[in-house]
């Protein structure tokens, strides 16, 4: 049987320092490489209470980390809205039926109906982000936050559904005509 691993004075100092910073016992264990039981014994010997439910600093640190994660999510959602807006100005490929059969046409921008759909969805997502930010700032309850996140998810599902336009007969509402486009007709 191998000899038990000796805990160095440096490891003991790290354990005490990390715990005073509000780290959980598991985080300290992972960082220092010492078992949870050994960490508890070391902290008890130093006079530091290691019950995580009674450590105010650890609770505050976790709360602040959760809030930071929420704000990070909001920033990511705002980036998604910005990317959605950029799609309104990208070239748009479309299949158009002609007497000779379907022809792929590239427009400099999407049709106005598609742009309107994208912008309406971006507006809805922005409103949901604003509402979620207010609830995070006010410390709203979990059910309200879940509701807002559910609304955001539904909004993104609608955006995903609009990513590939349906150009079946009777669904395309652009006034574009390939026969009159000077870029598409032969000289």
- CB count within 10 Å of CB 92 equals 19
pLDDT tens for each residue of 39-51: 888 988 888 876 6
pLDDT tens for each residue of 65-94: 777 787 787 788 888 788 878 887 888 888
- Beta bridge pairs of residue 95: 104
Question: Rounded distance, CA 107 to CA 112, Å?
Answer: 12
pTM: 0.39
């Amino acid at each position: 049987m191998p000899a038990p691993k000796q805990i160095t004075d440096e490891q003991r100092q790290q354990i005490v320092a990390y715990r005073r910073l509000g780290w959980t016992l598991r985080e300290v264990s992972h960082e220092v490489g010492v078992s949870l039981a050994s960490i508890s014994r070391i902290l008890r010997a130093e006079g530091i209470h290691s019950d995580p439910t009674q450590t105010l600093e650890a609770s505050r640190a976790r709360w602040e980390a959760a809030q930071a994660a929420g704000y990070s999510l909001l920033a990511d959602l705002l980036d998604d809205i910005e990317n959605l807006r950029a799609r309104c100005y990208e070239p748009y490929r479309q299949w158009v039926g002609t007497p000779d059969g379907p022809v792929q046409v590239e427009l400099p921008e999407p049709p106005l109906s598609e742009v309107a759909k994208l912008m309406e969805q971006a507006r809805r997502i922005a409103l949901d982000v604003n509402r979620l930010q207010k609830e995070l700032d006010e410390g709203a309850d979990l059910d309200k936050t879940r509701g807002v996140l559910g609304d955001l998810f539904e909004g993104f599902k609608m955006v995903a559904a609009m990513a590939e336009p349906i150009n079946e007969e009777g669904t395309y509402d652009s006034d574009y005509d390939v026969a009159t486009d000077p870029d598409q007709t032969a000289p």
